[in-house]
Chains A and B, each alone.
Chain A
Amino acid sequence: MKKDDENVGKALDKETTRRGFLKGAGAAAGFVVATTAIGGIRPPLAQAQQPKPVMKYLFVERQNCTGCRACEYACSMAHEGVVRPAASRIHVRKYKGIVDVPVICHHCDDAPCIAACPLDPPAIRKDPETNGIILDSETCLGSNCLRCQEACPAQFIRVHPDTGTPLMCDMCGGDPECVKACAQQATDPLAPCLWAGAGGAGVNMSFRKVTPDQAAKDLINQMYYPNTDGKRR
């Protein structure tokens, strides 16, 4: 950990540091306590009247993305205790200054990332409750391996700038922080960019095959129907 991270970590509750977070992640209950204690910014889940259904999949309505990266802010706050987009799981790419592509984990039913892990048992596994991908940072081979990164068809996986281990989306215990952050940013409250669902409906399996570059091309074609010579004017 770099010095500035220690500095910010000091002010936080113990279980909100990244390491503590990962330990708590095994048990669903511990997980919820951990996320909601972070900064105490959003109302604790426990206080909600109706228990929220556990969300197992993320979806993205790409043309609605404003490129604000509030999702990156929220994800890194939840997992690192501070705003640090480079360590966010979700990440947003801008293309040609005119479209933004949020890159998410599709929580593939067959999880090629897990299948690619050379360890036995793999250092990443799916939480059966939330569908989140949980990383065991103790066993993960990190920058010496990164087979998962190669295997991910969505090009979702980036590595942690300090530890070199893959940044996996754990679905925030079933209540994704990025989705909540996106709702606050949305142009139209009915049309945010990020969504969460309890079922994948198979869409996740086809959606994951679209790389960020391809998604950007599709968006530009669909939204701006550019001239065939590709010229802007």
Chain B
Amino acid sequence: MAAPKGGYFGRILVIDLTNRKTSERKVSDDDFRKYIGGCGMGAYLLYSALKKGHDPLAEDSPVFIGTGPLNGTSCVSTRMSVVNKSPHTGLLSHAEVGGHFANEIKWAGWDGIYITGRSRKPVMLFIKDSEVKFIDARDIWGKDTEESEELVLREVGDPDAKVALIGPAGENEVSFAALIVERSRAAARTGTGALMGNKKLKAVAVRGTRAVPTVDVKKAYRAMEDAKKLAVEREGWQGIKRYGTANLLEMKHYGSGSLITKNFQTTWWPAIDNLGAEEAARTFWKKHTACSNCPVHCMKTGVIRGGKYDGLIAEGPEYETGGLLGSNLGLTEFGGMMACIEMADAMGLDAISAGGVLGFTMECVQRGVLSAKDLDGVDLKFGNADAAVEMLRKIAYKDGKAGKLLARGVKRMSEEIGKGSEAWAVHTKGKEIAAHDPRGDKGRGPSYAMGTCGGDHHEGGDPKTLARWAMINSLTICSFVGGYPWGKETPKVFIDMLNPLCGWNMSDDEYWTTAKRIITLERCFQVREGVRRKQDILPKRFTTEKLPEGPKKGAVYTEEDTRKMQDSVYAYFGWDDDGIPTDATLTSLGLDFAMADMQAARKA
């Protein structure tokens, strides 16, 4: 089991919060080559660490923050993948997030951080190269993410440190609480915030001073430079430089007919002119912000001047936050949408799940199933931004009857409320879905229904893109740098960088086999938890209600579409008719260790 030669340090930092101890887990070059890093390495570590039915909020439940081989090199690799068993869905989940945090982990000489245990008192970590400090965080506990980040930076005393932390939502163990990185980026779709809150871990700060070992610097860096050029020059991505993802709000309304609106009742929302990128550029944005080395700088920050929200400084909108907390709530005014987005960031909530929950509740109100009386007097009607802002705060604190109810998420809410509300309970595998209506944009169907974690937009639209994205999330590359712009050249662009970086001789075939191994292992985890064909579906609304208006008027995601999607994915990855990986597939991918579990699942 040789140590890695380049791209990796060959060690993962293991934190035991119960005993305030740290240790180092060695990982061989072979294992990295098989699982790459990020979500792939996370699946490998968690599959063996956990048994079927393990309580996501148990003391020994791990959170893995995984980097990839390209982080910290001259490649534009900015993301990390946060992997844990989600307390929201009970399934293996991963969330990718950018910024500088991932690269600082690498420069500190680690390939990832594996956190287990539970502290008795609020604590934070400061990782400076090989040194790890446990710092009392009692004074920071309870503060929103804005104030917390300032306090954490002051506490660690290193202005170059980068911080990931939780807000009140995480502290109160809201099952869709996010991990907030560098104030406004979120690893959100995993319920990681709740795990950290449960572990009493408020924040992790990291600072590294080393360099990533590289086997052939000249060759690797040249390939990375070429890849970066490709990302900058490719037509279509210039729009992201200018508008971030916000202009998808207009695009999905006018063009693809997939802008989610009023809890997925329609995709046509003319008020989008007041919420989208053009409005933001004209009245709000002050600055572009980028992750490490990234020429795309998709993140925008701005300030509202005039009107009710005068003085509001916030980041966004992105397509997801603007969709879920804008058109989805039937909002018509920019300031109100930004107030919701900023509230979700400040509280440390997953803006997608939170938006889904609010939209669902608003529809319950619309249909007379819930009223202000049931909601602590909050008038949660479509279009009422103030009510939405107030409710986001209540969710984060599980405040009152309404806060407790909404903090449960759409699936559990509708089970509790009943009264036919399942019809508009939009989730897959228990997770609220992202901002692309799959009736207008059919390619999103597989991402929501077949993607590992359910309801995510970052998983890919057909079997091959599912595989592609498994690699992108393991290599921890951003969609807007490597995911889309390098699309046609995948896997060549990656292999050209990886081989000289790591001293490998990876071929195209090996690349795709690795992708299949990662997805299949993730699938094994979910199958062990009970996921089968009958869970690989889209919410009922998409298969029964036609889009009432807009460019894709009349579109519906048919049962036939669903069946085809399932069959093609199972066939491509070598899973049986119920979506369980076959023995032959497991053997060919070197996953024999999962065979007994899969055989048991087949009998169950």
Contacts and interface: CB of A to CB of B under 8 A. Distances in A.
B295 A83 contact: no
A7 to B, nearest CB: 5
Contact of A68 (B6, B72, B293, B346): B293
Contacts, number: 147
Contact of A73 (B74, B287, B309): B74
Contacts of B107: 84-86
Contacts of B288: 66, 187
B363 interface: no
Contacts of B146: 96-97, 232
A83 B213 CA distance: 10
B217 A161 contact: no
B287 A223 contact: yes
Contacts of B203: none
Contacts of B289: 66-67, 100
Nearest to A95: B159
Contact of A187 (B160, B213, B221, B297): B297
Interface stretch (A51-59, A74-82, A120-128, A202-210): A74-82
B255 interface: no
A114 interface: no
Nearest to B232: A184
B313 A12 contact: no
A68 B211 contact: no
A2 B73 CA distance: 17
A76 to B, nearest CB: 8
B473 interface: no
Interface string B593-604: 000000000000
A227 interface: yes
A137 interface: no
Contacts of A12: 217-218
B241 interface: yes
Contacts of A5: 210-211
Interface in B186-235: 207-218, 221-222, 225, 228, 232
A233 B74 CA distance: 38
A69 B160 contact: no
A89 to B, nearest CB: 14
Given A68-B292, A94-B182, A233-B342, A83 B309 contact: no
Question: Which of A2, A82, A212 has the most CB atoms of chain B within a 10 A radius of its CB?
Answer: A82
Nearest to B182: A97
A68 B222 contact: no
Nearest to A186: B295
Contacts of A80: 211
Contacts of B287: 63, 66, 98-99, 223
Contact of B311 (A69, A70, A231): A231
A91 B160 contact: yes
A66 B98 CA distance: 14
B313 A77 contact: no
A11 interface: yes
B313 A226 contact: yes
Contacts of A100: 289
Interface in B320-379: 339, 342, 346
A80 B286 CA distance: 35
Contact of B293 (A69, A84, A223): A69
Interface string A1-17: 01011011001100000
A161 B207 CA distance: 12
A201 to B, nearest CB: 26
A218 B241 CA distance: 25
A217 interface: no
A28 B339 CA distance: 56
A188 to B, nearest CB: 9
A39 B241 contact: no
Interface residues of B, number: 60
Question: Which of A67, A80, A212, A227 has the most CB atoms of chain B within a 10 A radius of its CB?
Answer: A67
B211 A233 contact: no
Nearest to A185: B295
B388 interface: no
A4 B210 contact: yes
A77 B311 contact: no
A77 B311 CA distance: 41
Contacts of A4: 9, 109, 210-213
Contacts of A161: 209-210
A76 B216 CA distance: 17
B432 interface: no
Nearest to B500: A11
A5 B209 CA distance: 11
B311 A233 contact: yes
Contact of A97 (B5, B183, B241, B286): B183
A224 B286 contact: yes
A77 B210 CA distance: 13
B139 interface: no
Nearest to B229: A184
Nearest to B304: A233
Interface in B275-323: 286-295, 297, 301-303, 305, 309, 311-315
A64 B535 CA distance: 48
Contacts of B242: 187
A97 B184 contact: yes
A97 B294 CA distance: 17
B8 to A, nearest CB: 11
Contacts of A97: 146, 149, 182-184, 301, 315
B74 A11 contact: no
A184 B297 CA distance: 12
Contacts of A73: 74, 292-293
B222 A40 contact: yes
B149 A11 contact: no
A87 interface: yes
Interface in B42-101: 72-74, 100
Contact of B216 (A11, A98, A212, A227): A11
A73 to B, nearest CB: 5
Interface in A27-73: 39-41, 63, 66-70, 73
Contacts of A232: 146, 311-314, 342
B150 interface: yes
A23 interface: no
A19 interface: no
A123 to B, nearest CB: 22
A5 B212 CA distance: 8
Nearest to B150: A96
Interface in B3-40: 5-6, 9
Interface string B86-129: 00000000000000100000010100000000000000000000
Given A7-B214, A11-B216, A39-B222, 16 more contacts: A4-B9, A7-B6, A11-B218, A67-B289, A82-B211, A86-B160, A86-B210, A96-B146, A98-B287, A185-B290, A185-B294, A185-B295, A223-B303, A225-B305, A226-B313, A232-B313
6 contacts: A8-B213, A11-B214, A68-B290, A82-B217, A98-B315, A226-B311
Interface of A: 2, 4-5, 7-8, 11-12, 39-41, 63, 66-70, 73, 76-77, 80-87, 91, 93-94, 96-100, 161, 184-185, 187, 212, 223-227, 231-233
Q: Across chains A and B, which 8 residue pairs bring their CB atoms closest together, nearest first?
A: A97-B183, A86-B209, A68-B290, A161-B209, A84-B211, A66-B290, A4-B213, A227-B311
